[in-house]
Amino acid sequence: MKILANDGISNEGKLALENAGFIVITNKVDQADLATKINEENYEIVLVRSATTVRKEVVDQCPGLKLIGRGGVGMDNIDVAYAREKGIHVINTPGSSSQSVAELVMGQLFSISRFLNDSFKNMESGDFNTLKKNYAKGVELRGKTIGIIGFGRIGQSLASYALGIGMNVIGLEISEKEVEITLEQIPSSPKVTIKVESDWNKVLPQCDYLSLHIPKQANGEAVINEKEFAMMKKGVRIVNAARGGVINENALLTALDNGTVAYAALDVFENEPTPNKSLLSHPRIATTPHIGAATLEAQDRIGLELADQIAALFVPQS
């Protein structure tokens, strides 16, 4: 079987697939030519990340397609239900990038607490003493409360890091529950039970920091709008490494300008790959280009997990 890994795959994943008898092609195909190339080259499996979309139109044009794989968590770039209705397997790798995303968020939390992003931009051209004064009012993470909106694998991984540096953690989801978090980075791996709340009115006013780990909504609407910003503690700091569009970007800019939000860090944007320039140039927004899962270790895990799932579906078991 031929596989098109259109957004790339790790060498380990490619080798595992090839050892299982698959032919793996990693030459990038433009989105507009995707269906044509799948048919011309008789690809039966297409692997994507966030750059390539596989919508109904592609599914309809490619009757030989047997599997669509998403290297990562969210599958909003694939018409999953429709593909499955057509008998196509759709898989993803929900656990492989949890640690890498959580570590990026921790880096962003430090950055927006100590002005690292803005000071880096200004050190070469700015006056040293002026900058020293401008960035002298950083805050510490220890003892602060972080609300983690969406408490799945990534949210729980972030919780373990946040607890490890002494933050108070509150989970926020649709329904209440308790989740046991193992602090694997600490000797003896102690466990901490986190209460996951469902009442936004109760949680948002308590939080010094917020981090979002929820999928893009089916209706396309943002989860954080003017209403939610109005509930927040003044001076809250926000990180979004989930999906563009879960925060209303115009409402975020207003909240930054009126002081509701002290600082924000964004790894994802509504209009990727051409984000709103007002976000990129804002002095109190730290930005990265959708690199949450982009570590060498995560890419190896993603590739191997995809290979394992594909082999389990299509390689005869002895």
φ/ψ of residue 151, rounded to 5: -115, 50
- Are 286 and 108 a contacting pair, CB within 8 Å? yes
Strand ranges (E), the chain: 2-5, 23-25, 45-48, 67-70, 89-92, 145-149, 168-172, 177-182, 191-197, 209-212, 236-240, 261-266, 285-287
- Are 237 and 113 a contacting pair, CB within 8 Å? yes
For 212-258, the DSSP string reads E--PPPTT---SB-HHHHHHSPTTEEEEE-S-TTSB-HHHHHHHHHT
Mean pLDDT in residue range 93-101 = 93
Return the percentage of the chain with pLDDT > 70, whole number: 99
Place of tokens 């929820």: 214
Pick the range with the lowest mean pLDDT from 19-33, 44-58, 210-224, 236-250.
210-224
User: In whole numbers, what is the pLDDT of the chain averaged over residues?
Assistant: 95
Domains and CATH numbers, the chain: 2-96+296-314 (3.40.50.720), 98-287 (3.40.50.720)
- Are 193 and 179 a contacting pair, CB within 8 Å? yes
Q: What is the CA radius of gyration of the chain?
A: 21
Mean pLDDT in residue range 95-112 = 96
For 103-122, the DSSP string reads HHHHHHHHHHHHTHHHHHHH
Flag whether pLDDT at 91 surpasses 70.
yes
Q: Are strands 191-197 and 177-182 parallel, antiparallel or unpaired?
A: antiparallel
pLDDT band at 316 (very low <50, low <70, confident <90, very high): low
Flag whether pLDDT at 264 surpasses 90.
yes
Pick the range with the lowest mean pLDDT from 36-40, 82-86, 121-125, 308-312.
121-125
Nearest to 77 by CA among 193, 264, 215, 213: 215
* Residues annotated catalytic, as ranges: 243, 272, 290
Write the pLDDT tens digit of every residue in 142-199. 999 999 999 999 999 999 999 999 999 999 999 999 999 999 888 899 999 999 999 9
Flag whether pLDDT at 23 surpasses 70.
yes
Flag whether pLDDT at 131 surpasses 90.
yes
pLDDT band at 58 (very low <50, low <70, confident <90, very high): very high
pLDDT band at 318 (very low <50, low <70, confident <90, very high): very low
Nearest to 142 by CA among 108, 110, 109, 165: 165
Cα–Cα distance between 27 and 134 in angstroms, integer? 48
Bridge partner list, 24: 3
